[in-house]
């Protein structure tokens, strides 16, 4: 086969010439590189003053690009949203975030993440009816919306957002199972619709939304949280309440801190005092072992405290004493 190739050093010379000609003659995609310049927005621990300066600069940079993609609108609006959450008096940035999401949706009306972020921003700012329109589009869309795993969700570092979405599971799914990630977003949209129904005393409608949400994504712990409460409000069978309750706390154990009364009452209604006692003890142990980042105890849910006090005799020895001490500390 050696006759097929040029002998050295001619072979090396021809290879170098070929590479040089390819580099010279190949089209240089300078314009495309400019068009794709995007400045990401991340929620960081800036001071309020620095945050407004940084996030405003990020938003302006992305909106100044001549040809804007989903990422430009998404990061620009996200930056304004983060700046608006950094303290009171940032209403203009909040409105700027909403307006930018509006521009993005006008340019990319079928983008799922852009719509989801816009809806959650509206919800966070208290515009729940307006947010519900977008959540409805996400949840009820007859045609699949456009989804790109690279499109960034609003940060999980904001507690109102992290309490309503399983971020860890979503990120894993976005890498390996995009269809499951899309289902999580749609399921979250249904959950928000259910919360709005729940908050306006439309319990049956809320129940329907939550049941659809968990059918679409079985790891949607916020939906199970609210489903537990709605079922209790509707006077559902204890077994139904317990099914939702245990799904919620198994998926995300801290849910026990607020859902304890529902689980205890349902277990006692089923005649399972030992299981009710186990829940009471787990609640006390959770609050003994888990502290805030500052080292302070976690806030105690008044309804949970009341149910523990009501059934204080069910707490074993030292756990009962620890609860008593917890109450004394809280009183001071």
pLDDT of 4 > 50? The answer is: no
Q: What is the dihedral of CA 283, 286, 287, 290, to 10 degrees?
A: -160
Q: 114 by DSSP, 3-state: which?
A: helix
pLDDT of 222 > 60? The answer is: yes
* pLDDT at residue 293, rounded to an integer: 86
Q: Mean pLDDT, the chain, as a whole number?
A: 91
* Contact by Cβ (8 Å): 131, 122: yes
pTM value is: 0.86
* pLDDT at residue 100, rounded to an integer: 98
Mean pLDDT throughout 142-146? 79
* pLDDT at residue 331, rounded to an integer: 85
Strand partners, 86: none
* pLDDT at residue 15, rounded to an integer: 60
* pLDDT at residue 138, rounded to an integer: 94
Q: Provide CATH 1.25.40 ranges for the chain.
A: 110-248
- What are the tens digits of pLDDT across the range 297-314? 999 999 999 999 999 999
* Contact by Cβ (8 Å): 267, 275: yes
* pLDDT at residue 194, rounded to an integer: 98
Per CATH, domain 110-248 is 2.20.28:
no
Mean pLDDT throughout 158-168? 95
Percent of the chain whose pLDDT exceeds 90: 80
* Contact by Cβ (8 Å): 123, 192: yes
Please give the angle made by the CA atoms of 262, 266 and 270, to the nearest 5 degrees.
Answer: 170
* 267 vs 329, residue with greater confidence: 267
Task: Look at 12-26, 73-87, 306-320 and tell me which has the smallest mean pLDDT.
Answer: 12-26
């Amino acid at each position: 086969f050696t006759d097929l190739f040029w002998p050295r050093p001619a072979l090396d010379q021809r290879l170098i010439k070929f590479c040089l000609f390819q580099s010279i003659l190949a089209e240089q995609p300078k314009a495309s590189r400019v068009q794709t310049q995007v400045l990401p927005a991340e929620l960081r621990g800036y001071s309020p003053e620095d945050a407004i300066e940084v996030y405003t600069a990020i938003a302006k940079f992305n909106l100044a690009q001549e040809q804007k993609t989903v990422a430009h609108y998404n990061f620009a609006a996200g930056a304004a949203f983060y700046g608006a959450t950094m303290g009171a008096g940032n209403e203009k940035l909040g409105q700027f975030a909403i307006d930018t999401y509006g521009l993005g949706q006008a340019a990319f009306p079928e983008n799922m993440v852009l719509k989801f972020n816009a809806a959650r921003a509206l919800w966070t700012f208290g515009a729940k009816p307006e947010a519900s329109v977008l959540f409805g589009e996400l949840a009820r869309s007859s045609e699949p919306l456009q989804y790109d795993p690279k499109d960034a969700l609003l940060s999980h570092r904001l507690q109102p957002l992290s309490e309503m979405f399983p971020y860890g599971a979503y990120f894993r799914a976005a890498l390996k199972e995009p269809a499951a990630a899309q289902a999580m977003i749609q399921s979250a949209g249904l959950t928000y619709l259910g919360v709005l129904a729940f908050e306006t005393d439309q319990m049956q409608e809320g129940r329907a939304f939550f049941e659809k949400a968990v059918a679409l994504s079985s790891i949607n712990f916020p939906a199970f949280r609210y489903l537990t409460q709605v079922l209790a409000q509707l006077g559902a069978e204890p077994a139904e309440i317990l099914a939702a309750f245990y799904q919620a706390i198994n998926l995300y154990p801290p849910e026990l801190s607020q859902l304890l009364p529902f689980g205890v009452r349902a277990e006692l209604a089923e005649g399972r005092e030992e299981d009710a006692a186990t829940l009471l003890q787990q609640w006390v142990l959770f609050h003994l072992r888990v502290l805030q980042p500052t080292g302070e105890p976690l806030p105690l849910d008044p309804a949970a405290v009341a149910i523990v006090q009501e059934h204080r005799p069910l707490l074993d020895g030292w756990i009962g004493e620890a609860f008593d001490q917890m109450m004394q500390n809280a009183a001071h």
